[in-house]
Chain A
């Protein structure tokens, strides 16, 4: 059974860099059929796609965040990561990692991790 688990800090300071990891079990990220991505949800708000990538290709990012985010995959550890630079309070959100069918829709999600940006 596929499981995804986010990990990382719950509190980061403005202007700093956020690094999150998503550990995948029950499936290999080394697959042609699925990509792996991140979504976030600000408190009380809707869902915002951050970006996704296949194990073999370049990442695709939301243009609104592209200049500040990086997604990378580590097939040896079967996990993938997200970094977000130049944080501000507007980046406070629950961050979810997930598996995507192709680059279309998320069919599995992690439980999410709340990240608060505050000094």
Chain B
């Protein structure tokens, strides 16, 4: 399953909202996760099951979608949200996890 993300880069101002898209080449149901990777850091889990926030993730991060189209919406953007955001599907069996190429969010 090939994952694509758009846009490649998103420039936004503090306090605004960012909308990131992720598309799967075939249906993955809701078997989709989102990660945030700040510069020089390991990725961190934001969302799993397409819409469930991971522990400690603030409500301004919202995931939605199913099938082949998914969205990560970040509201009230803050400077620490500058990062690359990756989606990852886990629909395959046997497991073959695949990631999207990422969206860079610049605040």
Known: A48-B99, A60-B94. Is A104-B48 also a contact (CB below 8 A)?
Answer: yes
Determine the interface band of chain B, counting residues with CB < 8 A from chain A: 20 to 34
Nearest B-chain residue to A111, judged by Cβ: B42
B42 touches A96 (CB 8 A): yes
**How many residues on chain A are close to B (CB under 8 Å)?**
20
**Chain B residues with CB below 8 A from A49, complex form:** 96-99
Contact B102 A106 (CB under 8 A): no
Contact of B48 among A96, A105, A112 (CB under 8 A): A105
- Confirm or deny: A26 has a beta carbon within 8 angstroms of a beta carbon on chain B: no
List chain B residues, Cβ under 8 A from A108: 45
Task: Name which of A63, A105, A111 has the most chain B CB atoms within 10 A of its CB.
Answer: A105
CB 8 Å contact bits of A83-113 with B (1 = contact, 0 = none): 0000000000000100001011111111110
Instruction: Give the CA-CA distance A101 to B95 in the complex, in Å.
Output: 13
CB of A62 within 8 Å of the partner chain: yes
Instruction: Determine which of A60, A103, A107 lies in contact with B54 in the assembled complex, contact meaning CB atoms within 8 Å.
Output: A107
Where the two chains meet, the residues of A that have a C-beta atom closer than 8 Å to any C-beta of B are 46-49, 52, 60, 62-63, 96, 101, 103-112
Complex A-B: 16 CB contacts under 8 Å: A46-B86, A46-B99, A46-B100, A47-B35, A47-B99, A48-B99, A49-B99, A52-B95, A63-B96, A104-B48, A105-B88, A105-B90, A107-B45, A107-B54, A109-B43, A110-B42
